[in-house]
Amino acid sequence: MLTQSAFEKQLQNLIRLSDNPTYLLAVSGGADSIVLAYLFSELRNAEIKFQIAHINYKLRGEDSDSDQKVVEDFCKKNDIKFHLYEVSENDKQPENSIQLWARELRYRFFREIQAKENLDFLVTAHHLNDQLETFIINLSKASGINGLSGIPANENNILRPLLNFSKDEIYQFAKENNIVFREDLSNKKNDYLRNKIRNEIVPKLSETNGQFLENFKKSISHLNQTKNFVHKQIEIIEKDLSVFNKEHKILSKEKLAQESDFVQFEILKKYGFKRTEEIQKIFSAENGSSFFSEDYHLTVDREGLILKLKNLSQEIDPEIILLENFDSHQDQIMIDLKSYIDENQSFNWVFDTDKLHFPLYLRKQKNGDEFYPSGFSGKKKVSKFFRDEKLSALAKEKIWVLCDTEDQILGIVPLRQDRRFEAEVNTQKTTTVQWTEEQPIL
C-alpha cells in the first residue's frame, strides 16, 4: 500500500538521504505527479529542498491551462518554487511522433532548470502500471532482457520512487488525502499503442489473477537482477580478452571467436555493432578490413579487433547498404531495417512485391533524386522534401534512401514511403519494410 512511510522507504532505497540531495519534480497535474509532489511536500520537515516544473504544451486549449493551474495552485499553497515552460509557435512540432518531440522538449527544459537551480535529481511519477505497459510494448518489439527488465528507478540522475506502486494505490492515496488533481487527458489521446494496452490489455491481465501487478513486480525485479549479473559477467569476459594499445582497445579475435554468439553479440554491441550479419562478417573479414558503427571504427588486424572512437572530422560512413536478397515468388517478404541501421523512429511500409526488383538497398541522397511521397499527389524533389520537413543538417545526414536494384526510390527512411509501390487491398504478394524500436521511457 502507498503510504508516506512506504514512500520514504522507497526513496531511501534509491539514494542516500543523508547527503541532503536536492530535487526537481516533473508535475503534469495528473494524479500520479500531484501525489508525488504531495509526498515530497510532506517530507519537508526534514528540510528537504525541491522545486516543481510544469510544461504547458498548449495542445488542448483550456484543458492544458487548467492542468497548469492545478500545479501552480499546489505550489503556491505549499510554498514551492514553480517553473513553467509554455510551448510556443517557435517550438516546431513534427507531424509524426509527437510523443518523442514532447519528451525531448521536456527533458531539455528540466535539465536547464536543474543546472540553473543546482538541483541534483529529476524526479518523475512513473508507476507500476507504466512499468507493465512499457514491458508489453517492448515485448511487441522483439526486445531482449534489456528492454524487458523494467524502467530503472535511478538512472542518469532521474529518480522514479513510485515505480513499485500501482496506479490504483496512487489513486487510493490521493482520495484518502483529499488531493486535488486533473484527469490526465493527454494520456487518453496521444499514444494509441500505450492506451490500447492500458485500457484493454492490462485490465484483462488483472482479471486473470488479483495479484497480477504484485507478481509482475517480482518478475521484473528478478529480470533486473539477471540483467545486472549478465552485464557484470560480460564485463569480466571482455576484460579477459582485451588489451589496451596506446589509446585503443584491442579485443583478441581468437578468444572472442571461441565465445558463444550471445557473448560476441553482447560485447560488440557495446561498440555499436549490433547486427548479426555484420558480426559474422567481422569474424570472416581479412586483416585490414574496417567496420564502422555510430561511434566506433573497428579494424580487423593481426593483433585483434582494434576499436577506435571515431574522429568525427574524418568520419567515413558507408554510402550503400545492401539488404538481404529475397525470392520475389514468396507471398510475404519481411525486411527489418533494425538489423542494418540505427534509427529512432519506427515505421512499417508495405509494398507490392511485383513492382519491386530485388535485392533492395539503402543509399545516401543524390542530387536530382525525386520521388512520389505517399499521401500527396505528384512527385517531389527529395531535397525539396527535406526543406519542407525542416530537417536540420544533422538530421539530413541520418536519412537513407530506400531503393530497388533498378534505383527506383521506394521511400525516404524513416519519413515517407513512395506511393507508386504501395501495396493495395487486393495485392497478392507483399514486401514489408519496417524499423521497430524499443520503447523509450516517455
Could you tell me the smallest distance in angstroms from the CB atom of residue 128 to a second copy?
Answer: 13
Q: In which residue are the cell numbers 543524390 written? A: 366
Kindly tell me which of 283 and 376 has the beta carbon lying closer to a second copy: 283
Binding residues: 28-33
Among 84, 100, 223, 442, binds a second copy (CB under 8 A): 223
Could you tell me the smallest distance in angstroms from the CB atom of residue 336 to a second copy?
Answer: 9
Could you tell me the smallest distance in angstroms from the CB atom of residue 338 to a second copy?
Answer: 10
Could you tell me the smallest distance in angstroms from the CB atom of residue 17 to a second copy?
Answer: 23
Quick check: 13 binds a second copy (CB under 8 A)?
no
Quick check: 442 binds a second copy (CB under 8 A)?
no
Q: How far apart, in Å, are the Cα atoms of 46 and each of 34, 43, 75, 384? A: 20, 6, 18, 59
Q: How many residues bind a second copy (CB under 8 A)?
A: 48
Gap between the Cα atoms of 14 and 7, Å rounded: 11
Among 20, 188, 189, 262, binds a second copy (CB under 8 A): 262
Cell of 354: 511485383
For residues 369 and 401, the answer to whether their CB atoms sit within 8 Å is yes
Cell of 91: 517550438
Cell of 111: 535539465
Three-state SS string over 92-148 comes to CCCCCCHHHHHHHHHHHHHHHHHHHHCCCEEECCCCHHHHHHHHHHHHCCCCCHHHH
For residues 410 and 421, the answer to whether their CB atoms sit within 8 Å is yes
Kindly tell me which of 266 and 418 has the beta carbon lying closer to a second copy: 266
Kindly tell me which of 291 and 435 has the beta carbon lying closer to a second copy: 435
Kindly tell me which of 82 and 326 has the beta carbon lying closer to a second copy: 326
Quick check: 152 binds a second copy (CB under 8 A)?
no
Handedness of CA 89, 90, 91, 95 (dihedral sign): positive
Binding residues for ATP: 28-33
Quick check: 144 binds a second copy (CB under 8 A)?
yes
Kindly tell me which of 62 and 207 has the beta carbon lying closer to a second copy: 207
Q: 90-99 as b/e, with b when 16 or more CB fall inside 10 Å? A: eeeeeeeebb
Element spanning 206, H or E: helix 202-208
Q: Write the DSSP string, 33-64.
A: HHHHHHHHHHTGGG--EEEEEEEE--SSTHHH
Residues from 342 through 381 that contact a second copy (CB under 8 A): 348
Q: Write the DSSP string, 334-401.
A: EEEGGGT---SS-EEEEEEGGG--SSPEEE---TT-EE-BTTSSS-EEHHHHHHHTT--HHHHHT-EE
Gap between the Cα atoms of 52 and 378, Å rounded: 49
Site mask, a second copy, residues 169-208, x = CB under 8 A? Answer: ------------------------x--xx--xx--xx-xx
Handedness of CA 348, 97, 160, 271 (dihedral sign): positive
Kindly tell me which of 113 and 163 has the beta carbon lying closer to a second copy: 163
Quick check: 142 binds a second copy (CB under 8 A)?
yes
Quick check: 77 binds a second copy (CB under 8 A)?
no
Looking at 44-52, 256-264, 400-408, 422-430, which segment touches a second copy (CB under 8 A)? 256-264
Site mask, a second copy, residues 101-140, x = CB under 8 A? Answer: -----------------------------------xxxxx
Residues of this chain that interact with a second copy (CB under 8 A) are 1, 136-145, 148, 193, 196-197, 200-201, 204-205, 207-212, 214-216, 218-219, 222-223, 225-226, 228-230, 233, 260-263, 331-332, 334, 348, 434, 436
